[in-house]
Amino acid sequence: PREARSRLEVHGANELERERRQTAWQALLAQFTSPLISILVVAFVVTFLIAEYTDAAVIAAVLAINATIGFVQERRAEQSVDALMALAAPRSMVLRDGHLVEVDAAELVPGDVVELASGTRVPADLRLVRTTTLDIDESLLTGESATVRKSTDPVAADLLAVDRVNLAFMGTVVSSGRGTGVVVETAAGTQLGSIAQSIRAQERPTTPLQARMTRFAHVVAVAVLGSTAVAFVAGVALGAPAEEMFLTAVALAVAVVPEGLPVALTVALALGVRRMASRRAIIRSLPAVETLGSTDVIGSDKTGTLTANRMTVVAVWTPCAGHLAVGDVDVVDLSGPEPTAVVRTVVLSNEADLAHETDEDVVVEEHGDPTEVALLEFAVRTGVDVAAVRRDTAVLAEVPFESRLRLAYVVVDEDGAVLRAKGAPERILELCDAMGVDHEVVFDPDVVLAEAERMAADGLRVLATAQRRLDTEVDDVDPHAPPRARGLVLTGLVGMHDPPRRGVLESIRRCRRAGIRVVMITGDHAATARAIARELEIVDADDARVVTGVELESTDDSALEAIVAEVDVFARVAPDHKLRVVRALQAAGRVVAVTGDGVNDGPALKAADIGVAMGRSGTDVAREASDMVLTDDDFVSIAAAVEEGRVVFDNVRKVTYFLLSTGAASIVAIIASIFAGLPLPYVPAALLWLNVVTNGLQDVALAFDQGEPDVLDRPPRRRDEGVVNRVLWERTALTGVTLAAGSLWLFVWAIDAGLDAAQQRGAALTTLVVAMAFHVYNARSERRSIVATHVAGNRFLLVSSLGAVALHVGALYWQPTRDVLQVADVPAAAWLRIGVVALAVVLVSEGHKWWRSRGGVARLRDRFVRAAGRLSGR
Ligand code: ADP
Ligand code: MG
């Protein structure tokens, strides 16, 4: 590693520069361009022109504060999101100090030996030293869509770099096969680097939620301008002096603008990303955060996502000896030529490695596909020395496992060439015309399939093994073009057990309660899939319908729509079948999250509403096509992310409600006082104080709320359902009016009590500040009573609401703030009444929650209809 580190210093990180998305200045300027803020800018200009310098100064200060908070919060949110997304950055398998280790692709240095497998994006320019049917898609560099077969052969020195087949180039993608290469160039020195010195930073798209909220902000802006204009005209018509009316209009505008909204929204999304990351789901695209909240189908792989991917061979069947009990024991006693042939095949046609030390003191750690690791462990249990067998047997050619092929084979030298294959039983049987090596057995594929089916029905993953001695005269064994496997002899079946992952069953149950369907989409055998699906309660019956890839081939899209509506398990599916299933579900209006790991899963991941890639076992291609990466490949993390997605949406609603209802309170109070012929209860500066300084942090604090315990007891939100719905308007109107009435009550009381004008305004403003500090707790749940919410649960909120009141009391006694806000201290008699108002707004909200729990408007309407029916019946 020391050598690698010093080379890293010399050559620099293996990264192409990213263009900056936005400079700090642009980001700061952007704070002023929102329609909400531009209203404040106009208000500032106008107050300045009519020489109300205090108000103008306050507005300017608020604009500055708001921009700063917005800028800082958004930057922080963006940086934390970037940092989290970087967790999904590409990694590479590298040989260092004799260990095969995974490192960040950015840490590669010239001289590193890198392993390539299908689905890998080549991390640097490599000189290939070993290839097995390595095909690379170089369209990124050449625009050519056909893949290039790579080899290690020397090439003519005068060839263009991109024509050299013994090089693999940074950024290109391995579409199948395996390879090993030595890094020759990194970063800017690579072919890709010479084309593009920097990769364009991806535009961060605005999320649908942000887009919707922007539209909402426009509506608010127009409403504000309209209502201020009306108020101004009405006031002047009623005989108020134009200048005072103008101030009122400005106050009105200031009162309604929910300045905090954009920032709170950004914060809510960023917090969602963070919470998901802490639950092992890394978000790669921000819109995914909210789409997750409305996800109603999760299509999941079986192996490794629903199951632990820790396999153990527990059953073996051979044509001559029949079923051999293997069980879960450490030492397996197998004798006879047939079992030996099975074991030899699974050892030689195998890319995995168990942890061991080689003769040259190189430590190899366990690595490889868990299926193949299990097969090696099985061989060890039967007493085979895996390393010795491999050392003593020369490999002449090999075809590594690809999901698409569902099989793997090698040609080895055993006193002549022998082909050994393993794979899905149906696939292997297609290539066989005999079975058994002990003595003659009649070849009957149905017998083998029935045995495989029996093992699969126990939930086992089944592989068949087969072999054939090649005749070098007929089968020309060329390492670059392995012979077509045919005429094989089936030697046996191996069944392995893969237990469900811990917590998956509970998670699936919770999904059900939350109205989320879980669908299994697997490459494994139908009976295996059904058995596991049954165990995990994805299906309820032992004979639940399972649709296979073959059946999908013969169904058209409209028939498929009917199938996906009722079938929960899809087996033996290829990636393009997965794509069709996703499309069919979407056509039925479902919001679909789907998992994938292989090279060919890209299209399905892209098409899904949420593409979920596996962080551990997934390929680069799958990761890059995904919206979300699971660091532990666990189904539980998907469900957790869906839950957090709902929390984000809930929190956005809470913030919106709080901002709308407090805006409504001030606007109702102002308009009511105009019509009642009262003086203006709040000067513009006081409203800004309320909106931005005292209660301004509480909206952001709401975004920090943990999820409510019932987030997963509700059906998914419809994707087109907006933030602002009827319930929210009901709540806004009720509490807004209560707050306004309370504030005016104190205002009028102060007038009647003969207090001076500053004290009157002080009483009105203090009422709002204090009552809102209580009201914000109403916002924490739409259904549950305040008493049922854990009031101290959100520390940030607790601090900001207590802080708001403390700050305000301070301001009532400090001369400079008294001057700016044009208020004075409030007598003790007022505080009692303020307490009553605070209590009232809580009670009103509680009453509304209770009333809604009993049916709300719908019930009222029912009653009305029934009463009308009775009346007309008479
Ligand atoms: P999944 O991951 O959904 O279980 P795969 O595509 O990995 O599906 O596997 C499909 C089938 O291919 C398995 O049921 C098994 O019969 C066979 N298979 C899986 N892994 C290997 C392997 N390493 N070598 C040979 N055959 C395999
Ligand atoms: Mg697999």
Q: Is the CB of 369 under 6 A from ligand 1?
A: yes
Residue 290 and residue 208 in contact, taking contact as beta carbons nearer than 8 Å: yes
Mean pLDDT lowest for which of 102-106, 114-118, 438-442, 554-558? Answer: 438-442
Res 749: pLDDT:
96
Instruction: Please enumerate in sequence order all residues whose Cβ is within 8 A of that of 76, keeping only pairs 6 or more positions apart, or say none.
Output: 270
Structure tokens at 630: 């699971």
The Cα–Cα gap between 288 and 607 comes to 13
Ligand 1 pocket check for 568: Cβ under 6 Å: no
What pLDDT does 201 receive?
52
Mean pLDDT of 332-343: 88
The whole-number pLDDT of residue 241 equals: 80
- Please tell me the residue having the least CA distance from ligand 1 atom 2: 303
Which ligand 1 atom sits closest to the C-alpha of 425? Answer: 16
CA dist 569 → 493, 523, 548, 613 (Å): 24, 11, 9, 20
| Residue 325 scores a pLDDT above 80 | no
DSSP, residue by residue, 362-410: -EE--BS-HHHHHHHHHHHHTT--HHHHHHHSEEEEEEEEETTTTEEEE
**Segments in 438-503 forming alpha helices (H):** 445-457
Q: What is the pLDDT of residues 728-744, one digit of tens each?
A: 999 999 999 999 999 99
CA of 405 to the centre of ligand 1 (A): 9
* CA atoms of 701 and 801, how far apart (whole Å): 9
Closest C-alpha to 737, from 785, 775, 698: 775
pLDDT in the model for residue 481: 56
Pairing mode of beta strands 417-423, 461-469: antiparallel
Read off the pLDDT of each residue in 748-770 and give the average, rounded to a whole number: 95
- Which atom, in ligand 1's list, is nearest to the CA of 461? 14
Could you tell me the two tokens for 740? Answer: 């306004």
Q: How confident is the model at residue 812 (pLDDT cuts 50, 70, 90)?
A: very high
Neighbours of 713 (CB within 10 A): 11
State yes or no: pLDDT of 53 exceeds 90.
no
What value does the mean pLDDT of the chain take?
A: 88
407 lines ligand 1 (CB under 6 A): yes
Tell me, using a 6 A CB cutoff, whether residue 398 lines ligand 1.
no
* Distance in Å, CA 726 to ligand 1 centroid: 51
- The dihedrals phi and psi of 697, each to the nearest 5 degrees, come to -85, -20
Residue 743 phi/psi, 5-degree rounding, is -65, -40
Q: How far is residue 784 CA from its own chain's centroid?
A: 28
Task: State if residue 618 touches ligand 1 by the CB under 6 angstroms criterion.
Answer: no
Instruction: Tell me how far the alpha carbon of residue 461 lies from the centroid of ligand 2, in angstroms.
Output: 11
Q: How confident is the model at residue 192 (pLDDT cuts 50, 70, 90)?
A: confident
Confidence of residue 19 (pLDDT cuts 50, 70, 90): low
- What is the C-alpha to C-alpha distance for residues 544 and 238, in angstroms, rounded to an integer? 76
423 Cβ closer than 6 Å to some ligand 1 atom: yes
The predicted pLDDT at position 44 comes to 85
Among candidate residues 539, 531, 96, 596, the one with its CA nearest the CA of residue 299: 596
Query: Residue 351, SS3?
Result: coil
Compute the distance between CA of residue 299 and CA of residue 609 in angstroms, rounded to an integer. 11
Residue 118: other Cβ atoms inside 10 A: 25
What DSSP state is assigned to residue 70? H
Ligand nearest to the CA of 407: 1
Q: How many CB atoms lie within 10 A of CB 334?
A: 19
The H or E element spanning position 85 is helix 53-86
- Say if residue 583's pLDDT is above 60: yes
What is d(CA 361, CA 374) in angstroms, rounded to the nearest whole number? 25
Backbone angles phi, psi at 96, to 5 degrees: -135, 130
| Closest ligand to the CA of 306 | 1
Q: What is the pLDDT of residue 140?
A: 82
Report the C-alpha dihedral over residues 339, 345, 346, 350, rounded to 10 degrees. 170
Residue 501 pLDDT > 90, yes or no? yes
Q: Report pLDDT for 18.
A: 65
Select, from the ranges 66-70, 516-520, 554-558, the one with the highest average predicted confidence (pLDDT): 516-520
**528 CA closest ligand 1 atom index:** 14
Q: 135: pLDDT confidence band, cut at 50, 70 and 90?
A: very high
Is 392 tagged catalytic? no
Statement: residue 322 has pLDDT above 80: yes
Which ligand has the shortest distance to the CA of 618? 2
Active-site residue, selected from the candidate residues 55, 125, 301, 568? 301
Instruction: Note the helical H segments in 196-281.
Output: 208-237, 242-256, 260-278
Q: Name the CA dihedral angle for 138, 141, 145, 150, rounded to a multiple of 10 degrees.
A: -30
Q: What is the C-alpha separation between 682 and 671, in angstroms, rounded?
A: 12
Chain-centre distance of CA 198, in angstroms?
27
In angstroms, rounded to a whole number, what is the distance separating the alpha carbons of residues 424 and 529? Answer: 14
516-534, pLDDT tens digit by residue?
999 999 999 999 999 999 9
In this structure, the strands spanning 312-318 and 322-325 are antiparallel
**Alpha carbons 426 and 306: distance in angstroms, whole number:** 24
- Tell me the residues surrounding ligand 2 (ion) with CB < 5 Å: 303
Give the mean model confidence (pLDDT) for residues 494-507.
95
Cβ of 523 closer than 6 Å to ligand 1, yes or no, is: yes
Distance 351 CA to ligand 2 centre (A): 14
Torsion of CA 197, 199, 201, 202, to 10 degrees: 160
- What DSSP designation does 678 have? P
Q: Is 695 in the pocket of ligand 1 (CB under 6 A)?
A: no
387 Cα: distance to centroid of ligand 2 (angstroms): 25
Contacts of 480 (CB under 8 A, 6+ apart): 133, 149, 151
Residues in Cβ contact with 525 at an 8 Å cutoff, skipping those fewer than 6 apart: 424, 425, 452, 453, 456, 461, 462, 571, 572
pLDDT at residue 202 is higher than 70: no
Taking the CA of 403 as reference, the closest ligand is 1
- With bands split at pLDDT 50, 70 and 90, how would you rate the model's confidence at 206? low
**pLDDT at residue 122 in the model:** 92
Query: How many angstroms separate the CA atoms of 193 and 426, rounded?
Result: 46
How, if at all, do strands 322-325 and 517-521 pair? Answer: unpaired
Looking at the predicted structure, is the pLDDT value of residue 380 above 60? yes
With a 6 Å cutoff on the Cβ, whether 483 touches ligand 1 is: no
pLDDT digits (tens, 9 = 90+) for 835-872: 999 999 999 999 999 999 887 777 777 888 888 888 77
At 231-247, the pLDDT tens digits run 788 878 877 787 777 77
CB of 403 sitting under 6 A from ligand 1: yes
pLDDT of residue 478: 57
Mean pLDDT of 42-47: 83
Which atom of ligand 1 sits closest to the CA of residue 521?
3
Name the helix (H) or strand (E) containing 433: strand 432-435
Distance (angstroms) between ligand 1 centre and the Cα of 622 equals 18
Residue 722's pLDDT band, with cuts at 50, 70 and 90, is confident
Q: What is the mean pLDDT of residues 104-120?
A: 91
Nearest Cα to 495, choosing from 322, 694, 313, 363?
313
Burial 619-652 (b: 16+ CB within 10 A, else e): bbbbbbbbbbbbbbbbbbbbbbbbbbbbbbbbbb
Atom nearest to 464 CA in ligand 1: 16
Whether the CB of 420 sits within 6 Å of ligand 1: no
Q: Cα–Cα distance between 184 and 88 in angstroms, integer?
A: 25
Mean pLDDT, residues 821-840 taken together: 94
- Report CA(423)–ligand 2 centroid distance (Å): 12
Please indicate whether residue 301, judged by its CB atom, sits closer than 6 Å to ligand 1: yes
C-alpha dihedral (835, 836, 838, 843), degrees to nearest 10: 140
Count CB neighbours of 797 within 10 A: 25
Q: Which long-range contacts (CB under 8 A, 24 or more apart) does 509-514 make?
A: 509/537, 510/639, 510/712, 511/298, 511/639, 511/642, 511/712, 512/537, 513/712, 513/713, 514/642, 514/643, 514/711, 514/712, 514/713, 514/714, 514/715, 514/716
CA 340 to ligand 2 center in whole angstroms: 26
Task: Please report which ligand is nearest the Cα atom of 302.
Answer: 1
CA of 552 to the centre of ligand 2 (A): 20
Q: Which of 453, 465, 524 to mutate to test the pocket of ligand 1 (most atoms within 8 A of CB)?
A: 524
Angstrom distance (rounded) from CA 374 to CA 380: 10
| Residue 803 neighbours by CB under 8 Å, 6+ apart | 697
Q: Which CA distances in Å does 378 have to 167, 331, 744?
A: 37, 9, 81
Instruction: Pick the range with the lowest mean pLDDT from 92-101, 110-119, 162-171, 539-548.
Output: 92-101
Q: Is the CB of 633 under 6 A from ligand 1?
A: no
pLDDT score of 198: 56
- The pLDDT of residue 40 is 79
- Please give the Cα distance from 282 to 610 (Å, whole number): 12
pLDDT, tens only, 420-462: 999 999 999 999 999 988 778 899 999 999 999 999 999 999 9
